[in-house]
């Protein structure tokens, strides 16, 4: 079926599912504040945003490993728990939606499309962000990393989200900034779009992820032709 066929009744895809951190939300400042509180508690100097930002989409374990490189990547469970506890206190205090996200979401809504969120962030943390962003009643679904038995890159969260919103997979596009987002979409048979404005490590190569398309900025998604 052609892209236009899947857009019957509107200019944009009928259902768009988004990753959260690094896609809709610039949450790096909240996570950096979290890391530097943990380091300060141990008498260690703060780390700069630029050093930590690429790790944000990888989650609590990766952020904890980046915060304490002396661990050699071996992060004990209690350190991850500490990160999540401190992060819950910093949640929404420093970060914000990326520039252009609100205009893009408004354009989808004005076209009659619906959107939702599928993230690997724990659901309670993701839900805690929604009121401050004004998204709690606008997002048609919110799936966290612990909502279901599987998390991305497994396709279950995307398949469940599409079904919960009443859409076939063919009606949906998934937007994310990490390879596991694209792997999940491909495994679900869902069209995918790489958010190049998000967080990536130096060795990450989005071209190798085999998404349907890549986009440089949220503003570009105001154009219907930018969507796969």
Burial class (CB in 10 A: 0-12, 13-18, 19+), 5: exposed
CA 58 to CA 178: how far, in whole Å? Answer: 8
Neighbours of 88 (CB within 10 A): 13
DSSP run (H or E) holding 121: none
Pairing of strands 172-176, 15-18: parallel
- Which strand (E) or helix (H) includes residue 226? none
Write down the catalytic residue from 19, 26, 30, 177.
Answer: 19
Is-catalytic flag, 146? Answer: no
Q: Is 169 exposed, middle or buried (0-12, 13-18, 19+ CB in 10 A)?
A: middle
Residues catalogued as catalytic:
19
């Amino acid at each position: 079926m052609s892209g236009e066929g899947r857009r019957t009744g509107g200019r944009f895809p009928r259902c768009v599912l988004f990753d959260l951190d690094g896609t809709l939300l610039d949450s790096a400042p909240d996570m950096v504040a979290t890391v530097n509180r943990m380091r300060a508690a141990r008498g260690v100097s703060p780390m700069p945003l630029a050093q930590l930002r690429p790790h944000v989409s990888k989650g609590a374990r990766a952020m904890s490993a980046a915060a304490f490189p002396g661990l050699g990547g071996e992060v004990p469970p209690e350190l991850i728990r500490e990160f999540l506890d401190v992060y819950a206190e910093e949640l929404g205090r420093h970060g914000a939606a990326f520039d252009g996200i609100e205009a893009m979401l408004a354009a989808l809504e004005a076209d009659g499309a619906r959107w939702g969120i599928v993230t690997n962030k724990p659901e309670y943390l993701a839900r805690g962000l929604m009121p401050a962003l004004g998204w709690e009643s606008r997002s048609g679904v919110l799936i966290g990393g612990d909502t279901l038995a599987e998390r991305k890159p497994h396709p279950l969260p995307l398949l469940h989200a599409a079904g919960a919103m009443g859409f076939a997979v063919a009606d949906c596009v998934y937007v994310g900034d990490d390879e596991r987002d694209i792997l999940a979409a491909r495994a679900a048979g869902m069209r995918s779009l790489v958010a190049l404005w998000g967080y990536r490590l130096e060795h990450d190569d989005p071209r190798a992820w085999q998404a349907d398309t890549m986009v440089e900025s949220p503003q570009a998604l105001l154009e219907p032709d930018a969507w796969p």
